[in-house]
Amino acid sequence: MSTIEPFPAKTHPLASPLEIFVACAHQMLDPATPEPVRRQMEPRLLAQLPALRALGVFELFELRDPALRAWLDDELAGLSAATAMPG
């Protein structure tokens, strides 16, 4: 059983992107988290990537879970490609 408290459906308005990211990541990685809850966490976690990238979080820290790291590397690459395209 995870020691992390479940992340509420409504995020506290003062929660930082890092707090939201960490809480969602913990729930996604917890084997006790039901698949529907895990799927709810995905877009919430992904929504934090632009802010965390702008803050340089991924240059300072590496995710230890290989599957989560690979998924987020792909998402960050897609985000970089989308922002690099002329609009």
Neighbours of 64 (CB within 10 A): 8
pLDDT tens-place string over residues 17-61: 999 999 999 999 999 999 999 999 999 999 999 999 999 999 999
pLDDT at position 10, please? Answer: 56
Q: Report if residue 11 sits inside a domain.
A: no
Residue 27 belongs to some domain of the structure? yes
Please report whether residue 69 resides in a domain. yes
- Tell whether 1 is covered by a domain: no
pLDDT digits (tens, 9 = 90+) for 64-77: 999 999 999 999 99
Whether the per-residue pLDDT at 14 is higher than 70: the answer is yes
Domain residues for the domain of 40 are 17-84
Q: Which of 25, 23, 17 is nearest to 62 (CA)?
A: 25
* The total number of structural domains that make up the chain: 1
Do the Cβ atoms of 32 and 1 come closer than 8 Å?
Answer: yes
Q: Let me know if residue 12 belongs to a domain.
A: no
Q: Do 2 and 30 touch, CB atoms closer than 8 A? A: yes
